[in-house]
Structure 1
Amino acid sequence: MFLWEGVSEFVAVAEAESFTAAAKQLGISTAQVSRQISALENRLNTKLFYRTTRKVSLTEEGSIYYRHCRQLQDGLEEAERAISDRRGTPQGNLKLTAPVTYGEQYVMPLVADFMLLYPEIEVTVELTNRQVDLVEGGFDLAIRLGKLTSSSMMAKKLTTRTQYVCAAPAYLEKYGIPHSLSELRHHNCLVGNYDHWRFQEGNKERSVRVSGNLRCNSGFALRDAALKGIGLVQLPDYYIADDLATGALVAALENFQEAEEGIWALYPHNRHLSPKVRLLVDHLASELA
Structure 2
Amino acid sequence: MSRHYKDFQLSSIEHFCLTVEKGSFTAAANMLGITPAAVSRSIARLEDRLNVRLFVRTTRQLRVTSFGQAYYEQCRQALNQLNDAELTIKNTQSSLHGLIRISAPTPFTHFRLIPFLLLFKKKYPNIHIDIHSSNRNIIFSEDNFDIAIRGQKPKDCNLIARKLEDSELIVVATPTYLQNMGIPVMLEDLKKHNCIEFELPSTGRKISWHFCKKGKPIELEIKGNFTILDDFLATNELVKNHAGLMQVYRFSIEKELKSGELVEVLKEFNGATRPFFLLYPHAKYLPLNVRLFVDSLIEYMSLTKQDYL
TM-score of the alignment, normalized to the shorter chain, above 0.5: yes
Given the superposition, is the C-alpha separation of residues 179 and 20 from structure 1 closer, same or farther in structure 2, using an over 3 Å criterion?
farther
Figure out how many residues of one structure are paired with residues of the other and give that number: 276
Q: CA RMSD in A?
A: 4.5
Counterpart in the other structure of 1:112: 118
Given the superposition, is the C-alpha separation of residues 49 and 269 from structure 1 closer, same or farther in structure 2, using an over 3 Å criterion?
farther
8 Å contact 2:77–2:287 — kept in the other structure? no
TM-score, length basis structure 1: 0.68
Given the superposition, is the C-alpha separation of residues 10 and 165 from structure 1 closer, same or farther in structure 2, using an over 3 Å criterion?
same
Given the superposition, is the C-alpha separation of residues 42 and 150 from structure 1 closer, same or farther in structure 2, using an over 3 Å criterion?
farther
Aligned counterpart in structure 2 of residue 280 of structure 1, from 277, 287, 293: 293
Aligned counterpart in structure 2 of residue 251 of structure 1, from 236, 240, 265: 265
**Aligned partners of 1:267, 1:163: CA distance in 2, in Å?**
26
1:259 maps to amino acid? T
**Aligned partners of 1:40, 1:165: CA distance in 2, in Å?**
60
**Aligned partners of 1:153, 1:12: CA distance in 2, in Å?**
24
Given the superposition, is the C-alpha separation of residues 196 and 75 from structure 1 closer, same or farther in structure 2, using an over 3 Å criterion?
closer
**Aligned partners of 2:50, 2:168: CA distance in 1, in Å?**
55
8 Å contact 2:166–2:274 — kept in the other structure? yes
Alignment of 1:98-247 (within 5 A): 98-119=104-125, 121-129=126-134, 130-131=136-137, 134=140, 138-142=144-148, 144-149=149-154, 151=156, 152-168=158-174, 171-172=177-178, 174-177=181-184, 179-180=186-187, 183-193=189-199, 196-200=206-210, 206=219, 208-213=221-226, 215=228, 222-227=235-240, 229-244=242-257
Deviation sequence 1:31-84 (CA, Å, 0-9, x none): 87765554333233334677898975425xx79x849x82x7645543442332
**Aligned partners of 2:100, 2:18: CA distance in 1, in Å?**
17
Counterpart in the other structure of 1:84: 87
Aligned counterpart in structure 1 of residue 49 of structure 2, from 43, 49, 52: 43
Given the superposition, is the C-alpha separation of residues 229 and 33 from structure 1 closer, same or farther in structure 2, using an over 3 Å criterion?
same
**Aligned partners of 1:155, 1:222: CA distance in 2, in Å?**
28
1:87 maps to amino acid? K
8 Å contact 1:193–1:216 — kept in the other structure? yes
1:177 maps to amino acid? P
Structure 2 unmatched runs, 5+ = 1-5, 303-309
8 Å contact 1:165–1:252 — kept in the other structure? yes
Q: Percent identity?
A: 24
**Aligned partners of 1:154, 1:189: CA distance in 2, in Å?**
35
* Cα distance, 1:279 vs structure 2: 2.4
Counterpart in the other structure of 2:306: none
Given the superposition, is the C-alpha separation of residues 54 and 224 from structure 1 closer, same or farther in structure 2, using an over 3 Å criterion?
same
1:96 counterpart = 2:101: yes
Given the superposition, is the C-alpha separation of residues 237 and 57 from structure 1 closer, same or farther in structure 2, using an over 3 Å criterion?
farther
Deviation sequence 1:108-147 (CA, Å, 0-9, x none): 332222222233x2323334315455555554334x2311
**Aligned partners of 2:229, 2:13: CA distance in 1, in Å?**
48
* Cα distance, 1:170 vs structure 2: 5.3
**Aligned partners of 2:38, 2:49: CA distance in 1, in Å?**
16
Deviation sequence 1:222-243 (CA, Å, 0-9, x none): 3354345441112122222344
8 Å contact 2:167–2:250 — kept in the other structure? yes
Counterpart in the other structure of 1:3: 8
Secondary structure of the residue aligned to 1:197 is: coil
Counterpart in the other structure of 2:307: none
**Which is further off, 28-37 or 226-235?**
28-37
Deviation sequence 1:155-200 (CA, Å, 0-9, x none): 33333323322334554464341633x6544321123455723245
Deviation sequence 1:198-239 (CA, Å, 0-9, x none): 245898884625222575866555335434544111212222
Counterpart in the other structure of 2:305: none
2:182 maps to amino acid? Y
2:244 maps to amino acid? G
